[in-house]
Amino acid sequence: MKTYTVIAFAQNEPGVLYRIANLFLRRKITIDSLTVSETETHGISRFTIVVTSDKVTIEKIVKQLYRIIEMHKVFENEDSGLIFKELAFYKVSVKSPVQREEIEKLAKTFRASISFVGADYLIVEKSGTEDDISSLFSLLRSHGIREFVRSGRIAMVKEPAGRENVHAPVLRQPSHITTQIEVSAIKRIQIISDKTPGTISLAQGKPSLPTPQHVRDTAKRAIDEGKSDAYTIGYGIPELREVIAKKVTRDNGIPSTADNVIVTHGAIEALMATFIALFDPDDEIVIITPDYASHITQFQVATNGSRPIFVPLRFDESGRAWHLDTGRLESAISPKTKAILFTNPSNPTGHVFTEKELRAIADCAKRHNLFVITDEIYEYFVYDGKKHTSIGSFEDIRDRVVSVFGVSKSYCMTGWRIGYLVAHEKLAREIFKVHDNLVTCPAAVSQYAALAAISGPKKPVEEFRREYGRLRNIVVKELSNARRIHFAFPEGAYYAFAKVDGVSDDIAYALELIRHAHVAVVPGSAFGRGGEGFFRISFCYGEKQVREGLKRFINYVENHSPKV
Ligand SMILES: Cc1ncc(COP(=O)(O)O)c(C=O)c1O
């Protein structure tokens, strides 16, 4: 009798676990442990079963596993040492390059690997015995361990080559990029919120107002007239590019013709195509944070894992505002920097960049010969008489700016997926090559809808702005009464970004809010440096939802000291 570890890969459908366990129990074999974990391969789970039995019986069971249950792969292993292994992840703070080097050396000495590099932390991954894991823990502790996750007992599959008892090779892994990045915190929070009955979500920036009727009608007509049946020109239909060129010339002060415009599959695709077209793998981007989380991961995907450099805005708590620290911006530029990126008005802070701040960014870009990428998807949503200015309107840097806009927010058209970018013709041609490979062209029907939106009356946009302004005032009033919440007045967009006293782990606290207060908001650390301890509250929903969500958030925060 020996201890065996059987590792099986199968779809974790209802009943599978029971049937696997039954195969052993029917033979009166005691199962020491049976764990199920997700794999990197979509839809396939790993079942790790530790049992004490003899080889002949185990081999019979393995054959039955293949037959009875639709197994993809099964391994059995009699190396009892395997079952005492654990897998641990240490998230370690890094405050200086010297410290980074020390941690890297430590990881090497302990045969651990660095599995993720953040701006101010590293994730060290180690598999080994409990003692190995504890020793590394005590050494990393002096650097400041922010998170520590260990698996408990696991079984690892050793090199399959040459082992007669291995029935199939280990499943291949996807690229190191996809394993490094995570689905955005906004989407993760939304998924958890959807799965928690009774939760009110103020997490996503998805307006609940309808797309204007004349836009819907135009799209219906386009379908009936057969205009939406075929691919369009990749750059977008000529009449839409013309209308966009006129709009950016008039509203944004960026003199343009259709040649400067690419119509994209949402602003998100405009940004992705721009990142791929502009950056080589070793290039750096400076992102003014807190900033839309997807910019960070998009850049990593586009550059095969390059590191964005974060320049946090300064939170002026007493003045209830955010400000650009130009000194910080200047010192973040290195010879590797290729572009500065910012969102104006900002998601999540609601900051509207002043002309003075934009001038400082423009001067910095000129001085260091950098591109500037701006995401201006919330351009029309500014409050209190603030003015939104496009940096692309500055004549002296116009050739180096890629300005991204869209209809998702302005016209409540998030589902239609139309965005657009404006850039110098030469730059636009380079970005087009990527765009063509990503999407061929945006959906034809949506392009006709966007044409109706942009060329149509401005009244709907003004109505949306007024409604968000009204909701913003409600949010500001309610948050102002809370003792433990600190925030800046949202000058634009439709988010309040609120800091809660004493929260050191905003992700854990956001989960606590869903679980105990039944309200979903997005943890600030998802938005890069400067967002830690904050929570983004989206107010693009109906008043009832906004009021109830806020009430739950404030009540919980005011009455529960954070445990995290
Ligand atoms: C700053 C910012 N940029 C881009 C997007 C995505 O826009 P689109 O729907 O046009 O892809 C969002 C969506 O929330 C956003 O907040």
87 shares a domain with 75: no
Cα dihedral 293, 294, 296, 299 in deg (nearest 10): -170
**Predicted confidence (pLDDT) per residue in 41-55, tens digit:** 677 788 888 888 888
From 144-148, 484-488, 531-535, the region with the lowest mean pLDDT = 144-148
377 CA from centroid of ligand 1 (Å): 6
Residue 159 pLDDT: 44
Sequential DSSP letters for 92-160: EE--SHHHHHHHHHHHHHTT-EEEEE-SSEEEEEEEE-HHHHHHHHHHHHTT-EEEEEEEEEE-PPP--
210 CA from centroid of ligand 1 (Å): 17
The answer to whether the CB of 528 is under 6 A from ligand 1 is: no
Cα dihedral 235, 238, 243, 244 in deg (nearest 10): 10
106 shares a domain with 45: no
Phi and psi based region of residue 367 (left: phi greater than 0; alpha: psi -120 to 50; beta: remaining): alpha
Residue 212 pLDDT: 96
Q: For residues 240 and 453, is the Cβ–Cβ distance under 8 A?
A: no
Tell me the C-alpha to C-alpha distance, in Å, between residue 156 and each of 36, 83, 314, 543.
Answer: 13, 8, 46, 52
The arithmetic mean of pLDDT across residues 300-323, rounded, is: 93
Q: Which residues pair with 341 in a beta bridge?
A: 287, 373
553 shares a domain with 469: yes
551 shares a domain with 475: yes
Count up the domains in the chain and report the number. Answer: 3
- Position 242 in a domain: no
Q: Whose CA is nearest to atom 13 of ligand 1?
A: 205
Distance CA(309)–CA(306), nearest Å, equals 10
- Which is more confident, 197 or 340? 340
Sequential DSSP letters for 363-385: HHHHHTT-EEEEE-TTTT-B-TT
The arithmetic mean of pLDDT across residues 169-185, rounded, is: 68
Q: What does the DSSP 8-state code read for residue 320? A: T
The pLDDT of residue 333 is above 50: yes
The pLDDT of residue 162 is above 60: no
Q: What does the DSSP 8-state code read for residue 450? A: H
CATH code (residue 63) = 3.30.70.260
The arithmetic mean of pLDDT across residues 290-298, rounded, is: 95
The answer to whether the CB of 414 is under 6 A from ligand 1 is: yes
Exposed/middle/buried for residue 453 (C-beta within 10 Å: 0-12, 13-18, 19+): buried
**Predicted confidence (pLDDT) per residue in 399-435, tens digit:** 999 999 999 999 999 999 999 999 999 999 999 999 9
- Which is more confident, 306 or 335? 335
The arithmetic mean of pLDDT across residues 9-27, rounded, is: 83
- Position 541 in a domain: yes
- Candidate from 187, 204, 211, 268 with most ligand 1 atoms within 8 A of CB, to mutate: 268
- Which is more confident, 95 or 256? 256
**Predicted confidence (pLDDT) per residue in 476-496, tens digit:** 999 999 999 999 999 999 999
96 shares a domain with 19: no
- Candidate from 409, 435, 439, 497 with most ligand 1 atoms within 8 A of CB, to mutate: 409
Query: Residue 376 is encoded by which pair of tokens?
Result: 């201006």
Calculate helix-pair angle for 16-25, 55-68, nearest 10 degrees: 150
Dmax (CA) of the chain:
82
What's the domain range around 515? 185-209+460-559
Residue 433 pLDDT: 98
Does the predicted TM-score (pTM) go above 0.85? no
For the ranges 77-81, 172-176, 523-527, the maximum mean pLDDT occurs at: 523-527
110 CA from centroid of ligand 1 (Å): 43
- Position 376 in a domain: no
CATH code (residue 106) = 3.30.70.1150
Identify the CA nearest to 469 among candidates 492, 487, 496: 492
In three-state secondary structure terms, 537 is strand
108 shares a domain with 71: no
Mean pLDDT score of the chain, rounded to an integer? 89
The pLDDT of residue 367 is above 90: yes
Distance CA(355)–CA(363), nearest Å, equals 12
Q: For residues 431 and 402, is the Cβ–Cβ distance under 8 A?
A: yes
- Position 199 in a domain: yes
95 shares a domain with 71: no
The answer to whether the CB of 442 is under 6 A from ligand 1 is: no
Whole-number percent of the chain with pLDDT over 70: 92
Which residues touch 26 (CB under 8 Å, ≥6 apart)? none
115 shares a domain with 48: no
Confidence of residue 171 (pLDDT cuts 50, 70, 90): low
- Position 317 in a domain: no
Query: Residue 331 is encoded by which pair of tokens?
Result: 């010192």
547 shares a domain with 477: yes
Confidence of residue 286 (pLDDT cuts 50, 70, 90): very high
The answer to whether the CB of 406 is under 6 A from ligand 1 is: yes
56 shares a domain with 145: no
102 shares a domain with 63: no
- Position 333 in a domain: no
Hunting for tokens 């789970």 — which residue is that? 45
- Position 392 in a domain: no
151 shares a domain with 194: no
Query: Residue 506 is encoded by which pair of tokens?
Result: 């905003």
Residue 508 pLDDT: 82
- Position 422 in a domain: no
Residue 157 pLDDT: 54
CATH code (residue 491) = 3.90.1150.10
Residue 167 pLDDT: 42
The arithmetic mean of pLDDT across residues 27-49, rounded, is: 78
The arithmetic mean of pLDDT across residues 331-342, rounded, is: 96
The pLDDT of residue 509 is above 80: yes
The arithmetic mean of pLDDT across residues 165-191, rounded, is: 67
Q: Which atom of ligand 1 is nearest to the CA of 268?
A: 11
**Predicted confidence (pLDDT) per residue in 56-110, tens digit:** 898 888 888 877 666 667 777 776 666 667 778 889 988 888 888 888 888 887 7
Planar angle of CA 269, 275, 280, nearest 5 degrees: 150
